[in-house]
Structure 1
Amino acid sequence: MLLLILVTTQLSYVVLSDAGFQMHRTAIWATEAVVFLAIAVLSLAALANSGRLASAWAAMAVSAVLNVVQVGMGLAMFAPLKDAGPAMAPAYLATVAGAFFLYFAGKLLFGFAAIVVGAYLVRSTGLAKVTGALAILGGLAAMAANLGGIIAGMAMVYPAGATGTVATLLLAAALAMNLRTALAPDQ
Structure 2
Amino acid sequence: MAAYGALVSLMHIIDTLEKHPSPPISIDTKQVQSITQIVTSLQEFLDSYTSPLADSHEADPLERRIADAVYAAEDVIESHIVDQIQSGSTVVEDHDFYQNLQKVIEEMNLINQEVMKSIEVEAQIKQKPVAASTSSSPTVKENVIVGSEEVFLEVLDKLTGYKLDRQIIPITGMGGIDLRVDDN
TM-score over 0.5 for the pair: no
- Choose 1 or 2 for highest CA Rg: 2
Task: With the length of structure 2 as denominator, give the TM-score of the two structures.
Answer: 0.38
User: By percentage of residues, which structure has more helix?
Assistant: 1
